[in-house]
């Protein structure tokens, strides 16, 4: 039997464009053709949950995503990522993207928080300036919520749940961290520089992640999580997308495109995506590709086979 070639293409930030009816007239024809002829399955998975699921050997369920284990070999660890909490009337909104944290800012804030962790027998460490880890002796009997699920939203319904005493203790720690960072000089300096202050941490990432082995032939793209998943699953990884690479060897290929600049010239970006889709469409049409799956985070999945190309509708 001839080996198959399957491609999964992830296009972040396309959902807001699709959801606005006014944009339908400016969607490139190549993309419109794909949409019209593909089999569509709606889903609301954000890009973090989607990538996790694409690598996981088990269905990823619940509010949290078991991604802390990607950052450290120690299994008793939580993600403890810096974020900004904004008071909006009677709720707190969390923001975590594009914080632009320097080495000095990260180390200073970690040093401020560390004394608060003594009662929890925990250590806060920096993996990168935007990704921090909480190393523990024992894992709390609580359910957390993944940062991607709450970013840009109100936090109240996303706070830890579970054993009441532990829940109260962790929420108390969360509040103490906020008080310690309130009016911190480094945050005042950040605001003077036009940056958001870092006034909280978000705990998440609990659990074990079982990754598929030898599933993807090659994965491509510059999303940080894609590289982490590829490294942990011993999958070939390319930071730059090379569509011609699929001609070299059969297998499954995963390509994660760059984020669309929704505040800028996203139409030019969309035209570039359409040109790539046109190439893949021709490959699919002449059976050089056996399946093309297009994933739009927070929107759904479009799936095509060579037969799709010859549909009359």
Evaluate if residue 216 carries a pLDDT over 70. Answer: yes
Q: What is the DSSP string of 127-191?
A: SSSS-EEEE-SS--SEE---HHHHTTSBSGGGS-EESHHHHHHHHHHHHHHHHHHTT-HHHHHHH
Hey, how many other C-beta atoms are within 10 angstroms of the C-beta on 294?
A: 23
pLDDT digits (tens, 9 = 90+) for 68-124: 989 887 679 999 999 999 988 889 999 998 899 999 999 999 999 999 999 889 999
Cβ–Cβ under 8 Å, residues 204 and 171:
no
pTM tops 0.85: yes
Angle at CA 83, nearest 5°, toward 224 and 116?
A: 115
Distances in Å between the Cα of 83 and the Cα atoms of 70, 76, 207, 234 are: 20, 22, 22, 31
Q: Distance of CA 100 to CAs 53, 249, 269, 285, Å?
A: 28, 39, 24, 44
**Which tens digit of pLDDT belongs to each residue from 231-257?**
999 999 999 988 776 766 788 999 999
Kindly calculate the radius of gyration of the chain based on its CA atoms and give it in whole angstroms. 22
Statement: residue 313 has pLDDT above 60: no
Average pLDDT, the chain: 90
Question: Using one digit for the tens of pLDDT, what is the confidence trace for 131-147?
Answer: 999 999 999 999 999 99
Read off the pLDDT band of 282 (50, 70, 90). Answer: confident
């Amino acid at each position: 039997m001839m080996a198959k070639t399957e491609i999964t293409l992830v296009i972040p930030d396309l959902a807001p464009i699709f959801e606005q009816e006014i944009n339908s007239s400016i969607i490139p024809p190549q993309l419109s053709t794909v949409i019209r002829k593909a089999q569509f399955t709606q889903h609301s998975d954000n890009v973090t949950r989607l990538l996790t699921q694409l690598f996981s050997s088990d269905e990823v369920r619940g509010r949290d995503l078991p991604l802390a284990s990607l950052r450290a070999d120690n299994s008793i660890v939580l993600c403890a990522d810096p974020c900004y909490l904004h008071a909006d009337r009677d709720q707190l909104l969390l923001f975590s993207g594009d914080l632009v944290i320097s080495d000095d800012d990260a180390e200073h804030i970690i040093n401020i928080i560390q004394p608060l962790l003594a009662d929890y027998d925990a250590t806060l460490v920096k993996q990168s300036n935007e990704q921090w880890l909480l190393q523990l002796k024992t894992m709390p009997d609580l359910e957390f919520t993944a940062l991607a699920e709450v970013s840009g939203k109100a936090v109240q319904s996303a706070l830890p749940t579970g054993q009441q005493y532990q829940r109260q203790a962790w929420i108390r720690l969360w509040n103490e961290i906020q008080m310690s960072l309130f009016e911190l000089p480094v945050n005042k300096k950040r605001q003077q520089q036009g940056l958001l202050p870092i006034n909280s941490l978000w705990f998440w990432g609990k659990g074990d992640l079982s990754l598929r082995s030898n599933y993807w032939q090659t994965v491509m793209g510059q999303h940080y999580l894609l590289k982490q998943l590829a490294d942990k699953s011993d999958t070939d990884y390319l930071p730059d997308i090379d569509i011609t690479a699929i001609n070299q060897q059969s297998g499954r290929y995963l390509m994660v495109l760059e984020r669309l600049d929704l505040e800028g010239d996203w139409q030019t970006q969309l035209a570039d995506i359409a040109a790539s889709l046109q190439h893949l469409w021709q490959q699919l049409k002449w059976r050089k590709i056996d399946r093309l799956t297009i994933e739009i985070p927070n929107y759904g999945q479009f799936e095509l086979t060579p037969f799709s190309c010859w549909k009359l509708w």
